[in-house]
Chains A and B, each alone.
Chain A
Amino acid sequence: MLIRYVLADLLRNPRRTLSTMVGVTLGVGLFCGVLFFVDGLSASMTQRAVAPLAIDMQRIATERTGGSLGLTQSFEPPGRLAAGARARVVLEVTNSGDVDANEVTVRSLPGPGLRFVVGSAEMDGEPVTAIDDSPFAHGPGNTGLNLGSVGPATSHRLSYLVEADTDVELTDAAVATSQSTRESVNPVAANEPSSVSLAELATLVAGVDGVADAAPLSLADLGPDTLSAGGVAAAGPAKIFGFDGDYARRDATIDIVGGELTPDGAVVSAEAADGVGVGVGDRVSILLPDDSTLELPVTGIADLSRSRSLFSSRRGGDLETFIYSRNSVVVSPERFADTVQPAFERAAAARGTRLKSPPIREIDIALDRDLLHADPATAATQTTRIAAEVSAVAAHQDYLLDNISNTLAVASDDARVAKRLFVFLGVPGGFLAAMLAAYSGTVLAEAQRREQATLRIRGASRGHLLRMLAMRTALLTAIGSVVGLAIGYLAAVVILGQESLARASATSLATSAVLGTVGGCLATGIALYLTGRRSIDREINEDRARLSVRPPLWRRAGLDVIGVAVVAIGTLVALATHAFDGVPGSVYFGRAVELNLALLVLPVAVWITGSLLAARLIGNALDRSQPKSSASVGRPLTSLFRLSVGRRPWAIGNGAIVVSLIVALATSLAAFTASYDAAKAEDARYANGADLRITPSPTAPRPYTIDDADVFATDGVAATTPVIYGLSNVILRSDRTSDPANLAAVDPVSYPTVAPLREIRFTTNGAATAFDSLQHDPDAILLSEDMADFLETGPGNTLNVLLARATDQQVEVELHIAGVYQRLPGFPDGADALMAIDRHDAEVPTKAPDFFLGAAAAPDDASLDRAVASLRAGPGAADDLQIDTRTSTLAKDQSSLAALNISGLVDLDSAFSLSMAVVTIAIFVFGLLLSRRREYITLRAQGLESRTIRLLITAEAGTVALGGVIFGVLVGSAMGFYFVKVLRPLFVLTPTYTLPIGGLAAPVLLVLAATLVSSLAASRLVSRLEPTELLRDE
């Protein structure tokens, strides 16, 4: 019976039902939307995280430059050794290579249950007597026996006796024996299988499940003047690579612009070809470390300047550094193995010391990324398994650099942070939804008050009414939740795209659906039920007492004051403990973003407290503005308005709280997004050096000089500047010491206008003064803090700089230090010193700029795109230009920042917030209408124009909207400021707080427009009300 009544009530009052349900729908929609968003995002994090990775895994062959040394171990007699019995351990060391193995050390340590028999050690049949204990594990460090050099095709037989304390099975595990050499310091256990060749290893690794491709690569550094042709040597050091055509085809950044890679020829880098004046068909000479010369025909010219797989650093902890060598030559893997590698081995053997830079031989492994799980944590488990299997193939002869697992490990940490962050950012929306539900519940209760009174008169008990309320709430929340679930899914699809969500697992989506629906349902349902219950419990006779100007509960409890205290104390504690300072995440450093989520309480506290304070101010101001009672009323509209808002200030105040909360959330999200985007763009711009970085291709037909910056000043490019820069391109010498360094030479006038400089990056005098010195003093040089510390020098001191180091143009100049900086934009590898480009050009006139930096005409992305298009159409049409922009740099960002897609979440939150703002205003206006329709009808009957009534409704709703909007923007600005402070670790540079005034226009106008439209709609309803019936009803 009750359920039928409730159903009929809901169906026959569709407007009321819908307005109540919309709060539930939006709440559940937001909860589900955020969760689906997180699912979709997590599902794309793996792909995003690994996309910039050049090489998934690298099997680096250990240094075997000393030759192929083998060690076998056997026991005489073999098998089980009884307690008290003795056996001889026989070790055979053999050099099967063709060069000496030096400092060959054999270490053998009997395990538990076995003891070395003193005096039993022999070498090639002779006792080893010089050492009292075991010569194979001597002293506290268990030092092995140094055999000295072992020549090619030479072997040594070593042996010693062991005695068993207990029964022991004689296996390799019972006696740990290994060998190492000067050339290969990593100990190799006895009886290890003989090492396989690089090609064999690649084939074996390629067969591992999950590996898409494995290709061998060898590379080695050659000294200066080692690459020549016809007696002309390429200036500077050279690099030699060994890889085949398949490897080149797999890596799109290896661009063979002429000819091809053949087994017997060499491909030369474009710069080297220019330097020595060769083309395809000519011959080049490569001077190898053992002073032998490799002469090869040039079969191809290549642009290798963008190849990250070839030039990324192989040093641990420095893997992101791109160390380019202009003078590069590529030979076939066979040629490298047959000729280059032995030359290095011979050099190592002949010089008697370890080579500073031995050749690196590796297998570059690409995984089948399509098989990787969308969730980075799961994908990391997969890649770790693959890494283990790859390592198990021909183990112990090399080590594995597992780049992809490292990246995914960081990404999975970031994903966890992102989920927490997203849920946090979604929580205010959820809170709003509950408030909205409570607010609409209040209006519903208001509308049903009369019906409930009638039911009571007819005998309905409180229990009946509560059961009906529970049924009504359950029905509204159930239907609202289903609709909200669909809306949430659609919202996530709109923002992320169907493809992203399709990648998420069904379990994950189902879990989100259940969590979102149940969570949203509970939050809004409870809010709805509690407001209805309070209404039922209120005595009917209290209706008129509602006129009382008694402040609401939160005001009487002083919640706003408590909130102020929380914010103040929290801020002070955070400042005192430097909690706002964060460490940015970095994939390269294996460090995920770390957010102090406890701090996130602060923006929420600012949000709620600010809105309550706003309501207090509005309520108090209206209360004070109410006119004293007078029979002389004045103009009806203004008088009625002043009397209404003055005598019912908290109705306005409470409405303003909801609007303020919504507008504040939208404002803070807009401010956060603007600050985030600006900071990210600034980070990327800083990394790129400017909006644009134009690097002419080494194969470009036109040589560029420092006076050619204007060539790139095309439409949309405001300014350009040339830059000379290189790794270890100078030697800096102070009075105390010297060191190779990376020098940048820039134009001190145009560089500061193009590059993003911040005063804080200069520790002495500031950027303006420093560049002024460079401009006016040709002997001035700026030094990085680190380099100044290393050289033990500082401003005012002289510094000798060997320019164009290791080239035939090298020249030493004496400069003096004019300033010290922390770091400069545009040099990810670090610029140790900075000098004026004119002075550099005067000293080394043949040195061309390495790249040009450019500033776009306007800071927006469209201007940047226009600038790139004009560059491509202009100078880019004639020459192959590499154009990096701040956006392309941002896209390459491998850190978690790129994967977070905060903008998407903010869009989701904002869309729901704005929907809620519109609904709130509508509910307020129609709530006003419901509760005051008798007043309006009475006024109509008294002869008040409909227009005046419409204006009255609009004025009241407008007061709520305007008050809410004004305070919402203020509160949101403060909330956004706290958001940016708390989320500081998401940025590399300290973000500048940005409040997008223009961007706020949309939500503000939307709220005001919703007010106007709702008021007009409500006025029309007033006109359509049946006055005769309403006026006679008691």
Chain B
Amino acid sequence: MTIIVEDVIVDHRTENGIVRALECETLRVSSATSLAIMGPSGCGKSTLLGLLAGLALPTRGRVTIDDVVVSERSERDRVRFRRQALGMVYQADNLLPHLTVEENVGLQLAICDLSPIDNPVLDPAVVLRRLGLEHLARRFPDQLSGGQRQRVAVARAIVHRPTVILADEPTGALDADTAAVVIELLVEVQREIGATLVVVTHDPDIAGRVDETMQLARPTITAALSHAH
């Protein structure tokens, strides 16, 4: 899926006025490629990722994914888009603590109303095996190490074979070795399933493993916007 961002601005209302969180003139990620978004803290990387996921809407501008203007769709449509096309990995694993590893992964399929019976490649067991997690399938997240948990998060993000994978600092909480393993997995799987991958990161090593890198600058105007809008 091709991702296009055009003239996007995100402003947040605060007690002290309006603060600009993101300013992105243009961004294009071709289908089945990968992009790393880098930039200083506060430049709006995660905000941009939220826009791509349809979790937030821009104050101005358009976000188009595969000819669908996500930023103009309803919440229901955006939820459907996330369910069908999106896989997400975060710095925090965000696994459901009361679900086992296989249940966390299987739940994504259930949400997407997909069944491994119809399509064996969607079998969570296969995915877990692919990620080296098959022996941990019945463990709860609090029984795993940080790296293991993040691999489970990756498994959850790809089990339904999404066309877009969004990763927000996926290795931020991991040591370098574990981070390398996780990012390697992510890229491998992305290529394997032909998804478009967008990774937000501070890590140049990760940026070096993806097809393209984009530097996002801090918004040009921040607090000065107050009351002007």
- Chain A residues in contact with chain B, CB under 8 A? 544-545, 547, 629-636, 639-640, 643-644, 647-648, 934-935, 938-946, 1023, 1026-1029, 1031-1034
Contacts and interface: CB of A to CB of B under 8 A. Distances in A.
Given A946-B79, A1028-B46, A1031-B88, 19 more contacts: A547-B142, A631-B105, A632-B116, A633-B107, A634-B110, A643-B103, A644-B98, A938-B94, A941-B88, A942-B108, A943-B80, A944-B79, A944-B83, A1027-B50, A1027-B55, A1028-B50, A1031-B55, A1031-B92, A1032-B91
Nearest to A549: B98
A633 B137 CA distance: 13
B112 A631 contact: no
A935 B82 contact: no
Nearest to A648: B98
Given A630-B103, A633-B109, A644-B98, A941 B55 contact: yes
Nearest to B123: A631
Contacts of A639: 107, 110
A1031 B56 contact: no
Nearest to B10: A1028
B110 A633 contact: yes
Contact of B83 (A632, A648, A942, A1029): A942
A631 B137 contact: yes
Return the 8 tightest CB-CB contacts between A and B, nearest first.
Answer: A943-B83, A544-B142, A1028-B50, A631-B102, A631-B124, A631-B106, A647-B98, A633-B110
Contact of A1028 (B49, B94, B107): B49
Choose among B111, B124, B168 the residue with the greatest number of A CB atoms under 10 Å from its CB.
B111
Nearest to B99: A643
Contacts of A647: 98
A941 B53 contact: yes
B201 interface: no
Nearest to A544: B142
A140 B165 CA distance: 120
A545 B106 CA distance: 23
B150 to A, nearest CB: 12
A523 to B, nearest CB: 34
Choose among B82, B92, B107, B116 the residue with the greatest number of A CB atoms under 10 Å from its CB.
B107
B125 interface: yes
A644 B137 CA distance: 18
A943 B55 CA distance: 10
B96 A938 contact: yes
Nearest to B97: A547
A520 to B, nearest CB: 35
B100 A629 contact: yes
Nearest to B112: A943
Interface string B36-65: 000000000011011001011000000000
B141 A1028 contact: no
Nearest to B87: A942
B168 A544 contact: no
Contacts of A943: 79-80, 82-84, 86, 111-112
22 contacts: A544-B142, A631-B102, A631-B103, A631-B105, A631-B123, A632-B116, A633-B106, A633-B110, A636-B107, A934-B94, A939-B96, A940-B55, A941-B88, A942-B107, A944-B83, A944-B111, A945-B76, A1027-B50, A1028-B55, A1031-B94, A1031-B168, A1032-B46
A629 B110 contact: no
B86 to A, nearest CB: 7
A1032 B138 CA distance: 26
A941 B93 CA distance: 13
Contacts of B46: 1028-1029, 1032
A1032 B92 contact: yes
Nearest to B47: A1028
A629 to B, nearest CB: 4
A1032 B137 contact: no
Interface residues of B, number: 49
B173 interface: yes
A1029 B12 CA distance: 13
B56 A1027 contact: yes
Nearest to B81: A943
A1032 B79 contact: no
Contacts of A939: 96, 111
A626 to B, nearest CB: 9
B106 A1028 contact: no
Nearest to A542: B142
A1026 B57 CA distance: 11
Choose among A631, A635, A640, A1032 the residue with the greatest number of B CB atoms under 10 Å from its CB.
A631
A946 B76 CA distance: 9
B23 interface: no
A869 B55 CA distance: 69
B46 to A, nearest CB: 5
A640 B112 CA distance: 14
A1032 B98 contact: no
B82 A941 contact: yes
A1034 B141 CA distance: 14
Interface in B108-139: 108-112, 115-116, 123-125, 137-138
A635 B142 contact: no
A444 to B, nearest CB: 21
A457 to B, nearest CB: 15
A1031 B169 CA distance: 11
B82 A1028 contact: no
Nearest to B56: A1028
B66 interface: no
A870 to B, nearest CB: 64
B106 A940 contact: no
Contacts of B123: 631
A630 B107 CA distance: 10
Contacts of A944: 79, 83, 111
B102 A630 contact: yes
A547 B55 contact: no
Contacts of B107: 633, 636, 639-640, 942
A544 B145 CA distance: 12
B114 to A, nearest CB: 11
A1031 B123 CA distance: 26
B97 A544 contact: yes
Contact of B125 (A631, A648, A941, A945): A631
A635 B110 contact: yes
Contacts of A545: 142
B142 A942 contact: no
Contacts of A1023: 75
Nearest to A639: B110
A828 B50 CA distance: 84
Nearest to B53: A941
B140 to A, nearest CB: 6
Contacts of A631: 102-103, 105-106, 116, 123-125, 137
B111 to A, nearest CB: 5
A1028 to B, nearest CB: 4
A778 to B, nearest CB: 82
Contacts of A942: 82-83, 88, 107-108, 111, 156
B2 to A, nearest CB: 21
A1032 B103 contact: no
A1026 B14 CA distance: 14
A636 B160 CA distance: 15
A630 B79 contact: no
B91 A1034 contact: yes
A5 to B, nearest CB: 18
A939 B107 CA distance: 9
A946 B91 CA distance: 24
